[in-house]
Chains A and B, each alone.
Chain A
Amino acid sequence: MNWSKMDDVNSQYYFTASMDSGKTLCSLLKAIQFQETAVFCALPEGLKLTVEEGKCVQASAYVPSDNFTEYHVRDDVDVMFKISIAVLSECLNIFGSGEESSLKMYYRSEGSPLLLVLQPQSVNNVMTDCEISTQNADSVLELRDEDSAEVAKLVLKAPAFLGLLADLERSCDVIELHLSPEHPNVSIVTYGMQDRSCIDVPKSSDMVQSFTCENPVTLKYQLPHIRLIMKALAISSKVVLRCSSNGLLLLQLKLEKEDQRQMFSEFYIVPLLDD
């Protein structure tokens, strides 16, 4: 097989893609790597990897197709399989984190392995190809409920939000999110062993870029679940929080690359209900 003639093989393969640098993709994958396996889904619009934590948290990395120099998905089949996300990110990083390497991905058909061809930019004529075995995908949780209306939407600067989360006490289990059209608009409350801590953020704050909330709402989440987004926050520039009336929290994070293209990560977090 001649790997360089990509166009020739496109017709035979379910999915092929190539990229100049796999570095950003790798850090995005690491940000959602809190589970061993991910569901790899190649859509015509882009590539999406999804991991789930105990049916409570669903995290996805979404890479729009314009991040790839070439991107082909057969439109007559569903390209969806399970893959070890740890192995995948390790392969992308095979030349070390200091090395930019170009990346090509091939997936022939259902049941075949995902092939990666990596070529470091600084060294000529060095190439690695990796074969990562795949499994048939289970169904992915559909957490979004179309019937529940959105009750609040916030757009925050990711680094500042990360700073707030990092300051929360580690030993806490529960985080309470109070959103209100009145001042203070956002209030994050945690309960420690004996103490209560409260962080108030008015909508006039520099870190709040937009704030929409009609009626006061209080939502409770597991703090360990919220903590899962911290790695993704660290590489993102902006985060959108959406709360729906059933309490489901959706966080959408935008990662801006040097070439002006964007990658996204997305977290659905289910609420704690009052007992």
Chain B
Amino acid sequence: MKCHIPGANVKVLGRTAHALARFGDELYLESLPDCILLRTLNAAESAYAMVKFNKNFFTYFNYNYYSTEDNEGLKCKISMKSALNIFKSPAHMDKQVENLEIKLDAESCKLIFQLKCRHGIVKTHFVSILDCKAMQAVYTKDSVPNRITSPQRILSEALGNFQSSDDQVTLEVSSQSLIMRNYVDTNVDLTKIIRTQISLKPSEFDGYAIEAETTITFTLKEFRALLAFAEALNLPLQLHFETTGRPVVFIVHNGSTFEAHFVLATSKCDSASQATSTQHTNVERSKRKDSNSTLGSAKKKPHLEVDISKCLDEDSHLFNFIDIPEEVMLNKTSTNGNIENKSKSSGKTEEPMDCDNIPASPAAKNMIKSVFKRCFESTFDPRNLHGAILAENSDSE
């Protein structure tokens, strides 16, 4: 593999490296006849990123420079630290770097990054190859019911209102609005945290198509990183997602030269404890020497699907468990319109507390019981529901 990247595009590559570094510690590089793919996966396998640079991103491109007989391109894994070291300050790179050459040194098994900078300075990085594997995640982005196209500023401005200590965000989408709020962990003392909620109108977005209303929760660290990436490149961000528990896909592309997919697992805000809810992009690795990679993936797929269905079963069980009392509540309250509104609004303020407590630990079980105790009693009167009693319980917890 050998390619040349002009100065302006080196900046894009630098931004990409910095965004990917927020996802994983290792960078997978694969060269195909018409493009180069950079991929990374975090240690928990809950976040995955793939950036594809098409042939026209480069001034010179040869995917198989040291032509080997098997006609294969390069597949390798390098340390993310090495990649970051090459692109130390992407903001200034376009001014300093005139040209970047990436090539494989077949003899020493190193990947060579040679930056030709201003003042005639040449910086050469000999990066060790850790592995000769390619890695690919399986996810769907095309046949999903919910798609939002957002200008790069909107979401990052909204995120600016969140605390830097927040680590997960919940998106509640309906055809009328998109609500962003910080996800509150069950174990956290509710009196000591700030809850933030922001409602965005569909008209704020360039594209807004919600076919299945849903609520998804995902990590902020990676979300911030990919927003910064979209913002730095001044490109809109597309969100493709299905429902909670299924991965959300963020797409940034400029149409012709590159396309970035960021896949984040979504956890079940409405149900599970952290342990059951860390969701899974399903990763399939194929060895370079695995001559028939499709066969390999076919072998692995059934196993993976069992995994998914298993965890979905588990989750839906939890989900149902939580839903029962709510249904009861709503059925009863629906006899009186006014009260329904009231109980709904009071329900909303308590929502994180209600839904976050799952019978994962004994303490949480007690909590559920005391919160929903009245729902199970025959003399349940929703008018008693809102107000101090519930708040008291949550405080004492």
Measured CB to CB, the residues of A under 8 A from B are 160, 163-164, 166-167, 169, 171, 184, 192-202, 204-207
Contacts and interface: CB of A to CB of B under 8 A. Distances in A.
A195 B128 contact: yes
B119 A195 contact: no
Nearest to A206: B119
Interface of B: 79, 81-82, 85, 88-89, 96, 118-128, 130
A160 B119 contact: yes
A193 B120 contact: no
A199 B121 contact: yes
For the complex of A and B, list the 8 residue pairs with the smallest distance between their C-beta atoms, beginning with the closest.
A194-B128, A205-B120, A200-B122, A205-B119, A196-B126, A198-B124, A206-B119, A207-B119
Nearest to A167: B88
A195 B82 contact: yes
Nearest to A203: B120
Contacts of B124: 197-200
B123 A199 contact: yes
B79 A201 contact: no
Contacts of B118: 206
Listed residue (A198, A202, A207) with the most chain B CB atoms within 10 angstroms of its CB: A198
A195 B79 CA distance: 10
A194 B79 contact: yes
Contacts of B120: 201-202, 204-206
A163 B96 CA distance: 10
Contacts of A169: 85
B121 A193 contact: no
Given A166-B88, A167-B88, A198 B123 contact: yes
Contacts of B128: 194-195
A163 B119 CA distance: 12
B190 to A, nearest CB: 41
A195 B119 CA distance: 24
23 contacts: A160-B119, A164-B121, A166-B88, A167-B88, A167-B123, A184-B122, A194-B79, A195-B82, A195-B126, A196-B125, A197-B85, A197-B124, A198-B124, A198-B126, A199-B121, A199-B123, A200-B121, A201-B119, A201-B121, A202-B120, A204-B120, A205-B120, A206-B120
Nearest to A160: B119
A7 to B, nearest CB: 51
Given A201-B119, A201-B120, A195 B125 contact: yes
